[in-house]
Amino acid sequence: MPAFSFRNMVLLCLLPLPAVALFAVEAAAAPQDEAQPRVVGPGVAGSAPSDAIVLFDGKDLSKFRGERSAEPKWKLDNGVMETTPEGGLFSKEEFADCQLHVEWAAPTVVKGEGQGRGNSGVYLMGRYEIQVLDCYNNQTYPNGQCGAFYGHNAPLVNACRKPGEWQTYDIIFHAPKRLADGKVQAGSYTVLHNGVLIQDHIPVGEQSTTAAPLNGYAEKAPLYLQDHGNPVRFRNVWLRKLN
């Protein structure tokens, strides 16, 4: 039975009987010996939470390796990294369940159409892609447009900003898990694009996305940012482990 202060006892006497009963139920449902949630500093606009792993803060590419070489070959200028034809980037650290924040911008000067405009991708575990594409007044097949779980699920809505403007992905990812009987339990994706929900707890199986650089089951694996031949820019990349 939870302890009440003298003040609370006086207040109870003043309440009608239904309210007294509700007060008692709520107090009983909140045991005082439960562990308190861990404190996390939320950060200010543009900065990562206090428990985040910052993969790119604009200073260097030291948290990444190149797809085709040990050293990353992307351009770094004025706090922004930009894709080059040298291939994508893998994070040096490996992850599974996570909350991921990525900011990106398609080229300001529009060239091409469909899949040829501002094409890149954010691959969780190097396997499961959320498509990056300039879909502002630019149509393509639904499960390949901006914010799609590529080849699987179209986004709920098109929340694209204009070419050249900064956009955000906030992704909650739960990786597939191998169970004791050898079967794989599906994971899931939830994605917000510019603060708008576009993927809502979409199942993720063992099979990798088309053209993924990594395949097969893994307990954890690196984040992969794709080069697809268009000069897409990235900044403010951070991740929180959810395990």
Q: Are residues 28 and 60 in the same domain?
A: no
* Number of Cβ within a 10 Å radius of residue 38: 6
Per-residue b/e over 44-81, b at no fewer than 16 CB within 10 Å?
eeeebeeebbbbbeeeebebbbbbeeeebbbeeeeebb
Say if 45 falls within a structural domain: no
Residues 156-185: what's their mean pLDDT? 96
Q: Are residues 24 and 60 in the same domain?
A: no
Among the ranges given (14-28, 36-50, 143-157), the one the predictor scored with the smallest mean pLDDT: 14-28
Domain that holds residue 23: 1-34
Residues 93-107: what's their mean pLDDT? 97
**Is it the case that residue 96 has pLDDT exceeding 60?**
yes
Q: In what order do the strands lie in the sheet with 221-225?
A: 64-66, 89-95, 221-225, 120-124, 128-132
Q: What predicted TM-score, i.e. pTM, was given to this entire model?
A: 0.84
| Residues 182-216 pLDDT 10s | 999 999 999 999 999 999 999 999 889 888 999 99
**Is it the case that residue 3 has pLDDT exceeding 60?**
no
CA angle in degrees (0–180, nearest 5) for 108-112-117: 60
162 alpha-carbon distance from chain centroid: 21
Say if 44 falls within a structural domain: no
Query: How far from each other are the two terminal CA atoms of the chain, in whole angstroms?
Result: 33
Burial of 123 (C-beta count, 10 Å sphere; 0-12/13-18/19+): buried
Structural domains of the chain, count:
2
Confidence category of residue 9, pLDDT binned at 50, 70, 90: low
Q: Are residues 106 and 220 in the same domain?
A: yes
Say if 47 falls within a structural domain: no
Q: Are residues 13 and 119 in the same domain?
A: no
Confidence category of residue 75, pLDDT binned at 50, 70, 90: very high
Q: Are residues 167 and 62 in the same domain?
A: yes
Q: Are residues 71 and 18 in the same domain?
A: no
